[in-house]
Amino acid sequence: MRKTISLAIIVAFVSAAFPLGLRAQAEDPFTQQLQPVIEQVLKLEEAPGFAIAVVRDQKIVYAAGFGVRNIDNKNDRVTPQTLFHMASITKPFVATSVMQLVEQGKVDLDSPVVKYLPYFRLKDERYKTITVRQMLGHISGMPDVQDYEWDKPQYDDGALERYVRSVADRSLIAEPGTKFAYSNMAFEVLGDLIAKVSGETFEGYVQAHILKPVGMNSSTLLVKEANPKLLASPHVLNASYYPAVSKVFPYNRMHSPSSTLYSNVMDMARWAMANMNHGELDGKRILKASTYDEMWKPAGEQFTRVGISWFLGEYRGNRTIGHGGSDTGFVSSLRMIPDKRIAVVMMSNFNETSLGKLTNAALDVALGLKPEPLVIKTPIAKTLSRMIATTGIEPAVAQYRDLKKNQPQGYDFSEQQLNTLGYSLMQQGKIKEAIRVLQLNVEAYPQSGNVYDSLGEAYMKNGDKELAIENYEKSLKLDPGNANAVEMLKKLREQ
């Protein structure tokens, strides 16, 4: 059982912690308008620590840290220099590395990956046709990582190649180039490609050719090189649905390309500035300006939301370029409005922190707008989980129905709430309770393919093969693009 932290202590950590960062004047809009929003969200979500930086016109106009690096030490404060696990924000560094090699004529985006990694293979023979470009845009048909083995970290130079060689028993989930399917596995392969083409380790290449030139002096892909006095601890929900320090730290060198950048908001602000300036910062260039036209265009007519690793969007009529990340105990976000030279980067050492609403509020202030009032609702997952722990599953179900009927505006009854709770219960080994919670989600959202997918997984973990198949089939009927359901059905039917 992970150590339970009382709500009073958690709230005290967050609400009493004056943000540490760039000291702003009282009239500064970020201090006046954004900071109260941040404090409101962090208090509600009981987030141990959080850091943010805002860039405007190639300058850091706001940077602050809130809360603590480790919930067991209230004096261990988060600052803008605190290092966080960046998770999937690592991927654009892979893409930038590949594009550097493209500019040097060493890699062709439209050549098969096997040209550069002859030992890369999958069970499905179509793997031979997968191109570098398809992997970069998540349209390669590659499956995703099933187990990151954070609890069995590898630290040696050979870990990445061993992983790439180990996927030979996996099959494609779609014809290459036909569907978007987010694949961390594909980026591990690309990281190994970078290493083999450059003759350097993947981590060494990124350090020498991106982090150092951009001036990201505190950042690293190797956790043993991260300053332990600055590194935040990961926090997850414990059995009583309170944040607690994770038993495992999300690091494994075989997943460096997809996940293991360690950075802070000051360094990531420099990364944003370099990209918004089309590859140049302080007189040092990491990519040709024209390369960004290639990276920031849609991967295809039917893939308008993704470019070469970067995700493409829109906010208040402005084009946005960005990426997010989430792993055990950490979340991160970087969103840029390059045409306005605005960027917001934020990170938390609690994987339940909602960064989306905070990013929007920060962008509003940077755009000269007043953030819209946040509608704060009590997460129903928190209420139910604590009832399950004290009174059991059926009283919790009865409470859920009563609250939904009589207080629908006071609680967050979104699909994600019960889905998150279901997975939390599964991780605790409470499979029957997880099934009951996920059944409620199916009842509430019968037209969502995702709720059936999650229930199918719970049944599979409980050994109920037929019910698992039934729910995965329902998920696939509602969402024909659900690659996970395809893979799980194949696995179940082969058993």
Q: What is the pTM of this model?
A: 0.84
Intra-chain end-to-end CA distance of the chain, in Å = 33
If you ran DSSP here, which 8-state letter would residue 304 be given? T
pLDDT at 231 over 90: yes
The band of 22, judged by pLDDT with boundaries at 50, 70 and 90, is low
pLDDT at 379 over 90: no
**Per-residue pLDDT at 148:** 96
**Per-residue pLDDT at 495:** 82
The band of 241, judged by pLDDT with boundaries at 50, 70 and 90, is confident
State the average pLDDT over residues 309-314: 98
Question: Residue ranges of the domains in the chain?
Answer: 7-88+220-285+306-366, 91-203, 378-494
In the block, residue with structure tokens 């993704």:
306
pLDDT digits (tens, 9 = 90+) for 95-111: 999 999 999 999 999 99
pLDDT digits (tens, 9 = 90+) for 438-490: 999 999 999 999 999 999 999 999 999 999 999 999 999 999 989 899 999 99
Q: DSSP string spanning 368-435? A: T-PPPPP---EEHHHHHHHHHHHH-HHHHHHHHHHHHHH-TTTEE--HHHHHHHHHHHHHTT-HHHHH
Please report, for residues 157, 239, 328, 331, the alpha-carbon distance to residue 246 in angstroms, rounded to integers and kept in the order given: 26, 12, 8, 14
Domain 378-494 in the same topology as domain 7-88+220-285+306-366: no
The band of 237, judged by pLDDT with boundaries at 50, 70 and 90, is confident
pLDDT at 242 over 90: no
**Per-residue pLDDT at 6:** 38
CB atoms within 10 A of CB 119: 11
Superfamily grouping for domain 378-494 = Tetratricopeptide repeat domain (1.25.40.10)
339 burial type by CB count under 10 A (0-12 exposed, 13-18 middle, 19+ buried)? exposed
pLDDT at 426 over 50: yes
**Per-residue pLDDT at 185:** 98
- Percentage of the chain modeled with pLDDT above 90: 87
pLDDT at 427 over 90: no
The rounded mean pLDDT for the chain is: 93
Q: 293 Cβ partners below 8 Å, 6+ apart? A: none
Task: Assign 3-class secondary structure to 74-122.
Answer: CCCECCCCCEEECHHHHHHHHHHHHHHHHHCCCCCCCCEHHHCCCCCCC
Query: Of the CATH numbers 3.90.660.20, 3.40.710.10, 3.90.550.10, 3.40.50.1220, which one belongs to the domain with range 7-88+220-285+306-366?
Result: 3.40.710.10
Asked if residues 361 and 374 have their Cβ atoms less than 8 Å apart, the reply is yes
State the average pLDDT over residues 202-231: 98
CB atoms within 10 A of CB 167: 20
State the average pLDDT over residues 298-326: 97
Please report, for residues 278, 311, 353, the alpha-carbon distance to residue 373 in angstroms, rounded to integers and kept in the order given: 34, 27, 18
The pair of structure tokens assigned to 219 is 């950042």
**Per-residue pLDDT at 372:** 84
State the average pLDDT over residues 70-77: 95
pLDDT at 14 over 90: no
Lowest mean pLDDT among 119-123, 251-255, 368-372: 368-372
**Per-residue pLDDT at 212:** 98
The band of 321, judged by pLDDT with boundaries at 50, 70 and 90, is very high
pLDDT at 18 over 60: no
pLDDT digits (tens, 9 = 90+) for 265-276: 999 999 999 999
The band of 280, judged by pLDDT with boundaries at 50, 70 and 90, is very high
pLDDT digits (tens, 9 = 90+) for 107-157: 999 999 999 999 999 999 999 999 999 999 999 999 999 899 999 999 999
pLDDT digits (tens, 9 = 90+) for 170-179: 999 999 999 9
Superfamily grouping for domain 91-203 = DD-peptidase/beta-lactamase superfamily (3.40.710.10)
State the average pLDDT over residues 287-291: 98
**Per-residue pLDDT at 16:** 39
The band of 378, judged by pLDDT with boundaries at 50, 70 and 90, is confident
